């Protein structure tokens, strides 16, 4: 593997890790593990932990994918491996 593609792969993995942490925190974290604690806080009529499990995590998932698509596009161009 040449230097450029090794660096590209490293940048890709760093981005994936970052997004997967967010992905894990909103669903398994806020939606499941910490839900009982978060339920003490209210968002309108929603207990917060319940809101993450039934609404919030899905909105964050969408944001995750579009952020990923955008950042990957930038990384592609930075390492000059983008499609024409």
Partner 1 sequence: MDLQTLTYLFVGASFSLYLGIAFWARAGSTSDFYVAGGGVHPITNGMATAADWMSAASFISMAGLIANMGYGGGLFLMGWTGGYVMLAMLLAPYLRKFGKFTVPQFIGDRFYSKTASTVAVACLLTASITYIIGQMTGVGVAFSRFLGVSNDTGIYIGMAIVFMYAVFGGMKGITYTQVAQYIVLILAYTVPAIFISLQLTGNPIPQLGLGSSIAGTDVSLLSKLNLVVTDLGFSEYTTSLPGSTLNMFVYTVSLMIGTAGLPHVIVRFFTVPTVKDARSSAGWALVFIAILYTTAPAVAAMAKMNLHATVNTAVGLEPDAQGRLVVNQEVLKSNADFYAPEASLVYEERPDWMKRWEKTGLLKFEDKNGDGRIQYYNDATKNADVKAKADAAGWKGNELTVNADIIVLANPEIALLPNWVIALVAAGGLAAALSTAAGLLLAISSAVSHDLIKTVINPNITDKGELMAGKISMAGAIVLAGYLGLNPPGFAAGTVALAFGIAGSSLFPPILMGIFSKKMNKEGAIAGMLAGLSITLFYVFAHKGIFFVKGTEFTDLIGGPNSFFGITPEAFGAIGAMVNFIVAFLVDKVTKEPPVHIQALVESVRVPRGAKAVDGAH
What is the distance between the terminal CA atoms of the chain, rounded to a whole angstrom? Answer: 22
- How many residues bind partner 1, per CB under 8 A? 44
Site string for partner 1, 17-46 (x = CB under 8 A): --xx--x---xx--xxx-xx--x---xxxx
Q: Rounded to whole angstroms, how far apart are CA atoms 41 and 36?
A: 10
Q: Which of residues 61-80 bind partner 1 (CB under 8 A)?
A: 61-62, 64-66, 68-69, 72-73, 76
Is 11 a binder of partner 1 (CB under 8 A)? no
Q: 């967010």: which residue's tokens?
A: 22
């Amino acid at each position: 593997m040449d230097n450029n593609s090794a660096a590209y792969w490293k940048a890709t993995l760093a981005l994936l890790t970052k997004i997967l942490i967010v992905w894990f925190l909103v669903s398994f974290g806020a939606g499941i593990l910490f839900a009982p604690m978060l339920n003490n806080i209210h968002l309108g009529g929603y207990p917060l932990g319940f809101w993450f499990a039934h609404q919030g995590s899905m909105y964050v998932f969408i944001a995750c994918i579009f952020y990923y698509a955008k950042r990957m596009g930038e990384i592609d161009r930075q390492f000059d491996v983008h499609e024409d």
